[in-house]
Amino acid sequence: MRSHEIDYRLIGDDMQVVEVELDPHETVIAEAGAMAWMEDGIGFEAKMGDGTETDNGFFGKVLGAGKRLVTGESLFMTHFTNRGAGKKIVAFGAPYPGKIIPMDMAEHGNAITCQKDAFLCAAMGTKIDISFSRKIGRGLFGGEGFIMERLSGDGMAFLHAGGTVVQKELKGETIFVDTGCVVAYTDGIDFDIQKAGGLKSMIFGGEGIFLAVLKGHGTVYLQSLPFSRLADRILQAAPGGGGNDQGEGSVLGGLSNIFENR
């Protein structure tokens, strides 16, 4: 199934939005809740699956949707279609500070493997599947890197990454990465998990117990701020997590504490 040809425009810097321009009858698929705004004439519908299972029948769609439950994603995806006469725009926003990565699948061998929470939206015709590791080390200890999503197609797909995005081209080299910092990689890259040094380093190093090992020939996308790391820092700073509520130096901050303690 050939993907729909869509145009797009990125807006913003650290909290980016991608505006997708659809010709009449063109469709873009997205994760539930990703839409920011859309023009009149855009119709949307929650469907089970990505729309590539048309020949698989009902049970094929259920199986495909069931795989998404394994990754912790919604059972349904939202399909946005231009039902008007001219070009229409629908926009999708990043869920937390970072960058949106436009990915022309045709330039990446028509397939890419990404973290399960990196996918934002894609042209209709893009198949979204899950990728399990057959390696025991990665399967048992991979954490964020265990269950990945595999995107395949020949159109545009958009990924979201936290913080700064770094693109690395590997030509037989090997790099070691925090498991949460891996956003995506192309075919030709071998991905595995290994222990991070000795026992002392694993306990006191503060870099996590395991590291992702990527090697081979292909492209790797890395992020400087995984959402899990951002969430941990927020929880640590919150009063309930042991942090101190400074009230940001505001009189209102002190007043709110007075009312909370009554």
| 41 φψ region: left (φ > 0), alpha (ψ -120 to 50), beta (else) | left
Q: How far is CA 212 from the centre of its chain?
A: 17
Question: What pLDDT does residue 132 have?
Answer: 64
Instruction: Give me the mean pLDDT over the 199-214 stretch.
Output: 64
Instruction: Give me the mean pLDDT over the 238-247 stretch.
Output: 59
Instruction: Please tell me the distance from the alpha carbon of residue 116 to that of residue 68, in angstroms, as a whole number.
Output: 9
Question: What pLDDT does residue 26 have?
Answer: 96
Q: Residue 143: is its pLDDT beyond 60?
A: no
Query: What confidence tens digit (pLDDT) does each residue in 31-87 have?
Result: 888 999 999 999 999 987 777 765 555 555 555 555 555 555 556 889 999 999 899
Instruction: Please tell me the distance from the alpha carbon of residue 5 to that of residue 124, in angstroms, as a whole number.
Output: 9
Instruction: Give me the mean pLDDT over the 230-245 stretch.
Output: 69
Q: How far is CA 159 from the centre of its chain?
A: 5
- Is 195 strand, coil or helix? strand
* Mean pLDDT of the residues in the chain: 79
Question: What pLDDT does residue 23 have?
Answer: 96
Q: Residue 215: is its pLDDT beyond 60?
A: yes
Q: How confident is the model at residue 224 (pLDDT cuts 50, 70, 90)?
A: very high
Cβ 120 vs Cβ 31: under 8 Å:
yes
Give me the phi and psi of 181, to 5 degrees please: -90, -5
Residue 106 is classified by DSSP as G
Question: What pLDDT does residue 243 have?
Answer: 55
Question: What pLDDT does residue 226 have?
Answer: 85
